[in-house]
A and B are shown apart, each in its own frame.
Chain A
């Protein structure tokens, strides 16, 4: 198990160390840097959506547990859960808006 962890860390470190390679490729003109911008924007959006999914999962799990413990408070818990989900969702949407702005610039 320890060996697998070390191997994973090695692969991750090598991948991160390969990033300066992009600096050479990015000077291939409009097409190349446009692709790089698009790729980075998509990766950023993916990270935002993934973390938003984690946050919303945690919120929904707490809401479900609260309902299981106290079925009489379903309305209040549902209200709190919906407000929480929308506020977390809006963080991912900010990233989407920045993605649109970056792509259309």
Chain B
């Protein structure tokens, strides 16, 4: 979506100053039109920053894990893990523990990316359509791969034919379109929520400078949590639908 003036976050200026050459090479090899002085965009560098922060947090956590005397950090992350396992069990059914790492990664990554936009000086990577699109494509490939692995290629593709075999010519286009609509809806839901939240806060900042934008920042905080949770739950539902063995 067009923006009037591109404002560079401090990470972007750093990356453009020092790492412009490799980025230019990669973009030219792929064939993307870009301004040679400005290959890194805000969302790319902020995403890398978020990944670096998450890796550091988990590296610190790993050093503090202990069976006998768990510390505060371990308790917090055990709460998270219990939450992921319970949700996966509700939405995927039995055999859900194989997929919990992916869902947990999705939730923590998206949550962190959403929340970092609230800190002054940083920008949410999920505010650009590219980032939710990447996550949605990963989820799409993941649930299809898990469905193919769990049920075998033939049985998984037989799902597209629908419940009754002679309705197949009607069911196949409907199923294909509904499967293709899933990553699209995941992308647009996450992107539009984050983008609209920031735009509304901006609009109210220019209208009433002082107290009212805090309400919208609070709403954006709530929406950040909710959108991360919904992305994870929908990924679980899709994986559950793909790997379910229907007991007749």
Residues of B within 8 A of A82 (CB): 226, 229-230
Total interface residues in chain A, CB < 8 Å? 12
> B210 near A: Cβ within 8 Å?
no
- CB nearest to B237 among chain A residues: A83
Top 5 closest pairs, chain A to chain B, by CB = A93-B192, A90-B189, A104-B2, A86-B230, A100-B1
Residues of B within 8 A of A96 (CB): 192, 196
> B16 near A: Cβ within 8 Å?
no
Establish whether residues B227 and A86, one from each chain, have CB atoms under 8 Å apart when the complex forms. Answer: yes
Total interface residues in chain B, CB < 8 Å? 14
| Given A82-B226, A100-B1, A93 and B188 contact (CB-CB distance below 8 Å) | yes
> B233 near A: Cβ within 8 Å?
yes
- CB nearest to A86 among chain B residues: B230
Given A82-B226, A82-B229, A93-B192, 12 more A-B residue pairs with CB atoms under 8 Å apart are A82-B230, A83-B230, A86-B189, A86-B226, A86-B230, A89-B189, A90-B189, A93-B193, A94-B185, A96-B192, A96-B196, A101-B1
0/1 interface trace, chain A 58-90, chain B, CB 8 Å (1 if under): 000000000000000000000000110010011
> A10 near B: Cβ within 8 Å?
no
Establish whether residues A97 and B188, one from each chain, have CB atoms under 8 Å apart when the complex forms. Answer: yes
**A59 → chain B closest CB, angstroms:** 14
Question: In whole angstroms, what is the CA distance A82 to B230 when docked?
Answer: 9
Chain A binding surface SS class: helix
Question: In whole angstroms, what is the CA distance A89 to B192 when docked?
Answer: 10
Using a CB–CB distance below 8 Å, which chain A residues touch chain B? 82-83, 86, 89-90, 93-94, 96-97, 100-101, 104
A-B contact pairs, 21 of them (CB 8 A): A82-B226, A82-B230, A83-B233, A86-B226, A86-B227, A86-B230, A89-B189, A89-B193, A90-B185, A90-B188, A90-B189, A93-B188, A93-B192, A94-B185, A94-B188, A94-B192, A96-B192, A97-B188, A97-B192, A101-B1, A104-B2
Q: Which of B22-44 contact A (CB under 8 A)?
A: none
- CB nearest to A100 among chain B residues: B1
Question: In whole angstroms, what is the CA distance A83 to B188 when docked?
Answer: 16
Residues of A within 8 A of B230 (CB): 82-83, 86
Question: In whole angstroms, what is the CA distance A28 to B162 when docked?
Answer: 53
